[in-house]
């Protein structure tokens, strides 16, 4: 009987199949969150197998444990500080040499390691044979073959992990990387020195710590400084002596020499355990890449895929969207009829259902968009897209990888900003997060359609297209500007990995898609709900308005006279006037009039100002606010809002200015919350709000005042 839970951490290179194996083991019993303090995704799951409670952790994918990236720091800290009972290193058997680098580093730590030789099918099909017994013997580590996407070998892997966790044996110190004599000498001298000079126990394996100090590992140094105070100076002095000695000896930094020696060690292992069959299989991936990353056709094909993605997202998505929309309308019609008039009914119908309903209907589009993105990712195409865009992105001083989040920004900035998690460098991430909101999101489209359709009817399409282009150009310009001011310095060196193409697994596609949509729904639902209620309150109060005339009495008067037709028109006119006056005298109207002076120089009146303000909750709401404020929504008059806008003080010039402002001004609440979460910094969040709104105001000012000077209206 075992009371204790066994903690198993899955480590491995990106794309080695960790998440696939994690999903196979845990199924749906998983918790997705972030690692404390950083924005790296943490997946944890628990399961009961073979009489043991197992907790499985999917560590971020890393190529080494040298703390260059957040992922590497997170993975290393977890292994060292949380001491999981077993670390399973998921090794891409078709790429053994690269995978073994991490494996040898794990082997230097005090943890029980087990190797899963995953992608065994790919290795076999390439004619690579791996002698698992030999490998196991050479590194003194249990080795199991697995095929993650076919769920093969996972049970043996778990059994081996439990056996290893239960075993009492000490972790063998022998079968590790042996460095050259000079380095080994320095390691053991340093190790002795530390053991003699420090009384307190450090949470590290001493040999490992000595190695890290010789490599000048900043994090280990910092830990030692904190733990030992003044004593650390002595240690660091000793480390310097050794580093200097090694530098003289090898004429190169010790960390470089040690890396080389690890690769030498690995090359030795490979020689021992791998045999390549002579019959060479044609490498399918390479053949596909001849076309998809071709200099001439690669880019057009990429554009075609993107076009198909958006086309499907909007065209196919529009059907379920209509169903949901009619569902929402049906619900509010039923409630309209069945509930007695009350403040609560008003809140429910005009606040909650109108607000939340308008967002819920986008769920199908979001699911489709995410399905496409999951397919691009899981097949390996996303890496090719990044590769193709690399040249263009270098104009902004960013890598091709940053293009992926920007692309997603056309859909919605929230998942787009979350997608920046794939970027290694923190600087690149923040820069990408700052420029992504300029990619005009789908929620702004209804605004453009309404305004361009009303004021530029003949050229509406061109105007909307130009607005999108302006967004892209401004993101490139600001990107360049920030890169040369706020984010100076060399960008992190970066190798574009092109993982082999794979047929995606339906299960993992669905998990990917659902993970993201769920988060989206939760966040949007919460924020939209609160936002809608606030907008509603502002338009619904105060209740006791001092109207300029008694509308009811006027209506009664009309009822007593005129013909039927005249009567109807007159009553409609009065009702609209009443609604308009109510809007003007509501809290919203008062707020609008207060902030209007700020917007006057860019040609936007108080109604426009207030609509922009509500757009802060969600951009879609701008259109509904116009609807409420222009008070012309008449069911039997389809172009009512258009006509009301044309009749108002708004001109094509001010409409253009308004659209420009909408394109650029501060992101919606959900995006701001996401920026806050993903940058982990209030400073950058505020910066994003302030600079986007200032640029929006200035751009709109130039358009409006420039247009006026040119005599446009």
In angstroms, give the least distance from the CB of 380 to ligand GDP: 8
Closest CB to ligand GDP among residues 286, 522: 286
- The DSSP string of 669-682 is HHHHHHHHHHH--H
* 440 counts as binding ligand GDP under rule CB under 6 A: no
Closest CB to ligand GDP among residues 385, 695: 385
Closest CB to Mg ion among residues 157, 220: 157
Closest CB to ligand GDP among residues 378, 581: 378
Residue 14: which of Mg ion, ligand GDP, none does it interact with, CB under 5 to 8 A by kind? ligand GDP
Looking only at residues 101 through 120 of this chain, which bind ligand GDP when binding is defined by CB under 6 A? 118-119
CB atoms inside a 10 Å sphere around CB 569: 11
Residue 121: which of ligand GDP, Mg ion, none does it interact with, CB under 5 to 8 A by kind? ligand GDP
* 228 counts as binding ligand GDP under rule CB under 6 A: no
The CA distance from 689 to 684, in Å, is 9
Residue 508: which of ligand GDP, Mg ion, none does it interact with, CB under 5 to 8 A by kind? ligand GDP
* 45 counts as binding ligand GDP under rule CB under 6 A: no
SS3 492: coil
Closest CB to ligand GDP among residues 123, 659: 123
Looking only at residues 335 through 394 of this chain, which bind ligand GDP when binding is defined by CB under 6 A? 378
Residue 20: which of Mg ion, ligand GDP, none does it interact with, CB under 5 to 8 A by kind? ligand GDP
Count of residues interacting with ligand GDP (CB under 6 A):
21
The single residue among 54, 56, 59, 61 that binds ligand GDP, judged by CB under 6 A, is 61
Site string for ligand GDP, 478-517 (x = CB under 6 A): ------------------------x-xx--x---------
Closest CB to ligand GDP among residues 150, 488: 150
Task: Kindly list the residues in this chain that would bind Mg ion in the complex (CB under 5 A).
Answer: 19
* 153 counts as binding ligand GDP under rule CB under 6 A: no
Token couple for 652: 């094509």
- Closest residue to ligand GDP, based on beta-carbon distance: 148
Instruction: Work out whether strand 41-49 and strand 52-58 pair parallel, antiparallel, or are unpaired.
Output: antiparallel
Closest CB to ligand GDP among residues 298, 504: 504
Counting every residue written for the chain, the total comes to: 713
Residue 12: which of Mg ion, ligand GDP, none does it interact with, CB under 5 to 8 A by kind? ligand GDP
Q: Angle, nearest 10°, between helix axes 426-435 and 682-709?
A: 40
- Closest residue to Mg ion, based on beta-carbon distance: 19
The CA distance from 205 to 395, in Å, is 46
- Which residues, other chains included, contact 58 with Cβ-Cβ below 8 Å and sequence gap of 6+? 10, 18, 19, 22, 42, 43, 44, 45
Closest CB to ligand GDP among residues 9, 356: 9
The CA distance from 97 to 66, in Å, is 17
Q: Are 606 and 649 in contact (CB under 8 A)?
A: no
The CA distance from 300 to 505, in Å, is 27
Closest CB to ligand GDP among residues 94, 365: 94
- Is the previous residue joined to 472 through a cis bond, with omega within 30 degrees of 0? no
* 292 counts as binding ligand GDP under rule CB under 6 A: no
| Residue keyed to tokens 């299989």 | 281
Q: Are 572 and 675 in contact (CB under 8 A)?
A: no
Calculate the CA 520 to chain-centre distance.
Answer: 11
In angstroms, give the least distance from the CB of 222 to ligand GDP: 29
For residue 14, give the H/E element and its range.
none
- The DSSP string of 124-191 is HHTTEEE-HHHHHHHHT--EEE-BGGGTBSHHHHHHHHHHHHH--PPPPSSSS----HHHHHHHHHHH
The single residue among 6, 7, 11, 18 that binds ligand GDP, judged by CB under 6 A, is 18
- The DSSP string of 593-633 is HHHHHHHGGGT--HHHHHHHHHTTT-THHHHHHHHHHHT--
Residues lying near ligand GDP in the complex (CB under 6 A) are found at: 12, 14-20, 61, 118-119, 121-122, 147-149, 378, 502, 504-505, 508
């Amino acid at each position: 009987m075992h009371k204790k839970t066994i903690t198993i951490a899955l480590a491995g290179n990106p794309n080695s199949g960790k998440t696939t194996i994690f999903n196979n083991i845990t199924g749906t019993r998983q918790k997705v969150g972030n690692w404390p303090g950083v924005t790296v995704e943490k997946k944890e799951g628990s399961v009961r197998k073979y009489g043991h409670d197992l907790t499985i952790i999917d560590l971020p994918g890393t190529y080494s444990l040298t703390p260059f990236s957040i992922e590497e720091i997170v993975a290393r800290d977890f292994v060292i500080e949380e001491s999981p009972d077993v670390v399973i290193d998921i090794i891409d058997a078709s790429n053994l040499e690269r995978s073994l680098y991490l494996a040898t580093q794990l082997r230097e730590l005090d943890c029980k390691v087990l190797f899963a030789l995953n992608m065994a099918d790919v290795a076999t099909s390439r004619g690579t044979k791996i002698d698992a017994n030999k490998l196991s013997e050479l590194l003194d580590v249990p080795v199991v073959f697995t095929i993650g996407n076919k769920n093969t070998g996972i049970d043996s892997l778990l059994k081996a992990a439990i056996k290893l966790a239960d075993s009492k044996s000490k972790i063998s110190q022998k079968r590790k990387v042996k460095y050259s004599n000079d380095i080994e000498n320095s390691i053991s001298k340093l190790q002795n020195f530390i053991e003699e000079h420090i009384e307190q126990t450090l949470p590290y394996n001493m040999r490992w710590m000595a190695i890290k100090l010789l490599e000048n590992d900043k994090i280990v140094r910092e830990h030692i400084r904190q733990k030992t105070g003044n004593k650390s100076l002595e240690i660091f002095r000793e480390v310097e002596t050794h580093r200097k000695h090694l530098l003289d000896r090898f004429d190169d930094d010790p960390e470089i020499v040690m890396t080389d020696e690890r690769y030498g060690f690995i090359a030795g292992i490979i020689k021992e355990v791998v045999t390549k069959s002579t019959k060479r299989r044609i490498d399918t991936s390479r053949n596909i890449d001849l076309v998809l990353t071709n200099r001439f056709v690669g880019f057009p094909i990429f554009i075609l895929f993107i076009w198909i993605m958006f086309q499907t997202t909007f065209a196919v998505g529009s059907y379920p969207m209509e169903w949901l929309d009619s569902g929402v309308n049906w619900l509010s019609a039923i409630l309209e009829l069945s509930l007695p008039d009350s403040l609560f009914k008003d809140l429910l119908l005009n606040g909650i259902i109108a607000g939340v309903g308008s967002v819920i209907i986008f769920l199908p589009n979001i699911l489709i968009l995410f399905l496409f993105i999951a397919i691009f990712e899981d097949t390996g195409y996303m890496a090719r897209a990044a590769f193709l865009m690399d040249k263009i992105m270098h104009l902004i001083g960013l890598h091709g990888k940053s293009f992926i989040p920007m692309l997603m920004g056309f859909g919605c900035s929230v998942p787009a900003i979350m997608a920046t998690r794939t970027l290694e460098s923190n600087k690149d991430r923040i820069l990408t997060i700052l420029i992504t909101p300029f990619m005009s999101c789908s929620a702004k489209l209804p605004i453009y359609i309404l305004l361009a359709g009303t004021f530029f009817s003949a050229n509406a399409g061109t105007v909307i297209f130009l607005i999108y282009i302006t967004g892209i150009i401004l993101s490139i310009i600001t990107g360049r500007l920030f890169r040369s001011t706020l984010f100076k310095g060399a960008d992190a060196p970066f190798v574009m990995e092109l993982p082999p193409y794979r047929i995606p697994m339906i299960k993992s596609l669905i998990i990917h898609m659902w993970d993201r949509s769920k988060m989206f729904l939760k966040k949007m639902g919460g924020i939209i709900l609160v936002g809608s209620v606030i907008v509603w309150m502002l338009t619904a109060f105060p209740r006791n308005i001092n109207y300029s005339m008694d509308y009811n009495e006027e209506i009664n008067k009309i009822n007593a006279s005129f013909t039927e037709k005249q009567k109807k028109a007159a009553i409609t006119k009065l009702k609209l006037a009443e609604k308009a006056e109510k809007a003007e005298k509501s809290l919203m109207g008062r707020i609008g009039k207060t902030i209007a002076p700020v917007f006057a120089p860019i040609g936007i009146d108080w109604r426009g100002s207030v609509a922009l303000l509500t757009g802060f909750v969600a951009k879609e709401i701008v259109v509904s606010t116009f609807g409420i404020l222009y008070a012309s929504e008449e069911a039997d008059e389809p172009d009512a809002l258009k006509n009301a806008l044309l009749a108002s003080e708004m001109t094509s010039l001010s409409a253009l200015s308004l659209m420009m402002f909408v394109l650029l001004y501060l992101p919606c609440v959900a995006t701001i919350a996401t920026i806050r979460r993903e940058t982990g910094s209030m400073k950058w969040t505020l910066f994003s709000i302030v600079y986007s709104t200032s640029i929006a105001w200035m751009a709109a000012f130039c358009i409006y005042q420039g247009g006026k000077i040119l005599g446009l209206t």
